[in-house]
Amino acid sequence: MTKVIRQKKDFNSLFSVLDIVFTVISYFLAYFLTDLFYTEYFTFTWDYWAMLGLIIPTWIILLYTSNLASIPQTRSHLTIFMSFVNFSFIGFALLFLYKHIFNLQNFSHYVIVSFSLINLIVLYSFRMITFRVFKNFRANGRNVSNIILYADEKSEKLIESIIEHKEWGFRILMIISDSAWIRKRFGDAIRIYPDKINIKNILDFDIIDEVVYSKSIVTEEKIRDLVETCEEIGVTLRIQANSLKNMQSGSELMHLEQTPFITVKNTPRNRHALAWKSFSDFWISFIIIFFASPIMLFIAITIKLTSKGPIIFRQERVGLRGRKFYIYKFRTMVQNAEALKAQLEAMNESDGPTFKIKHDPRITTIGRILRKTGLDELPQLFNVLKGEMSLIGPRPPLPSEVEKYERWHLRRLSVKPGITCTWQIIPNRNEVVFDNWMKLDIQYIENWSVKKDLQLFFKTIKTVIYGTGY
């Protein structure tokens, strides 16, 4: 992985949570506004709490199924507004149905009407604000997805649209095509490779988020190969829907202007669970930093008094899809540790590309305690706040380690790296065979859930308390 590109941040999940927050606010606002005009007609009884309990899961399902939970990239304002009108009408009808099915006699019809209108205005306004903000972000090259595009002559309009509409958030890194016209039309601005090129090599060494197949003619064998290739390392695949007779398993439909694409995602797809992950990552990190600040201050003073060198160790690591960033840790080694590493290569106890020595002579006395308890990782909470890492996820490797990865190892780079994961909570973790470590990370990705994250979070706390993870 050779390119350094700004860390891609996924805000869709956070805004899914905010949609529900604004829906709850709309609900109470509808009640209070209606109460101003009909004070003698109703009071806030148990029926209103029951209806709110029904609204929240209903809205989550409706937002998810209508694809309104994500930030729009390619749809017009009118299309988005009509989608929200349709969403609100369905919700409006369901609330009337709920009132009569669950016999909520004290629940006012006026609140249903006012809530539907207020919620429509609030959610649509919020979506338009985020649309404009992210349109500017994407136009400036931030929060973009790097794509490889399979193309023929009929793909010219799509390529032009992607180049013109930077706010869509797609950057074409290369085009794969045998078309002389495509090469003549776009060859000066974009790298173009022939169809016979081995895409596995490209995916292994470039930072690619998605592969887009927009050729008008497609064979099942070609699509099967692309699905397997992208699935192996967790890259999203989009296939022009007009080219396929049937939807692929585990896929969803999206549009680039008028062109439909079937999207095959090869990472966790539960939007609302991912929304909770993003939401909790930020706030839990913020809370831990706030309450742990006296401990962090004590550690910083101790490091400064006991050894020469900076308090914080800053090191380049590889994150999502191969994007590079700098990780922060409390320094646990002597100041010239990196220079001494070459002299200690013969002592390396790891069987893979990683460098591990159980009794590393470069580690300071306080550093050994910090590593045993995991407290040296606390500064990485700031990486989480920046959006470069998650609380739970595969550890971010060194660039030199990634260069030695086998292809199946790259799958662990398909999600945002984390402070802790399955490997970190295993007793005597440095004795774990490298391939088994990689398998643990990939197993985490393929079986990810909020429940699993919570289990790993509390097991990590236990590891810190008892110091069993070193």
pTM for this entry: 0.63
The whole-number pLDDT of residue 128 equals 84
The whole-number pLDDT of residue 11 equals 54
Residue pair 169/143 in contact by the 8 Å Cβ criterion: yes
CATH 3.40.50.150, the chain: domain bounds: 145-264
Take residue 341 and report the two structure tokens written for it.
């590493």
By three-state DSSP, how is residue 174 classified?
strand
What CA–CA distance (Å, rounded) separates 102 from 105? 9
The whole-number pLDDT of residue 1 equals 37
DSSP state of 155: G
Low-confidence residues of the chain: pLDDT under 50: 1-10, 247, 249
Q: Starting from the edge strand earliest in sequence, which strands make up the sheet with 236-240, in order?
A: 191-193, 170-176, 145-150, 210-213, 236-240, 259-264, 251-256
The whole-number pLDDT of residue 13 equals 56
What CA–CA distance (Å, rounded) separates 52 from 24? 8
Helices 109-139 and 12-37, axial angle in degrees (round to 10): 150
The whole-number pLDDT of residue 4 equals 34
Does the domain at residues 145-264 carry the CATH identifier 3.20.20.100?
A: no
21 Cβ neighbours under 8 A, 6+ residues apart: none
The whole-number pLDDT of residue 245 equals 54
